[in-house]
Amino acid sequence: MNFLIFLSQFMIPFVIFIVVGYGLLMRKNIYEIFVKGAGEGFRVVLKIMPTLIGLMVAVGILRASGFLDLLARLLGRAAAYAGFPPELVPLAIVRMFSSSAATGLSLDIFKEFGPDSRIGMITSVMMSCTETVFYTMSVYFIAANVKKTRYTLAGALVATFVGIAASVMLAG
């Protein structure tokens, strides 16, 4: 275990050393390449910023307006019938849009039910087994200039529902 801790502390500096060393070995201007890449990254951030702000505002409005609670009550009955705790329906919905909002909901769930409860364990596993589908698609498809998403949304939603089902099964 101590070896893994030691290894994890030096992994990133080691990778940086290898990249810089390889660049020097190939006689590349590393600083110029770094600055060019950082500039391109900054342009990508500026390009996706409106989408990020829009998603964050939309999730904030959904939470503050009570629509999320209404949707949770409506879907909660069907979720309970399927064996999924109705208290986690808002988390499952928000998780598809915003990881930070889902983390806030997770903390609320932990405060109310406890992290060692069945609902707390499902929350933990669900946060690990699912992805922010709409956030990820909007950010990466805008950055890569993808126009036709084909089956990405359907596949991502299926993977999310499988992750949610797995979290219920794995939590017992």
Q: State the Cα torsion 128-134-135-137 to the nearest 10°.
A: 100
pLDDT at 139: 81
Task: Give the C-alpha separation, 16 to 136, whole Å.
Answer: 27
pLDDT at 69: 81
pLDDT at 18: 93
Task: Give the C-alpha separation, 17 to 118, whole Å.
Answer: 45
pLDDT at 154: 93
* Residue ranges of the chain with per-residue pLDDT less than 70: none
What value, to the nearest 5°, has the Cα angle with vertex 65 and ends 98 and 77? Answer: 80
**How much is the pTM?**
0.71
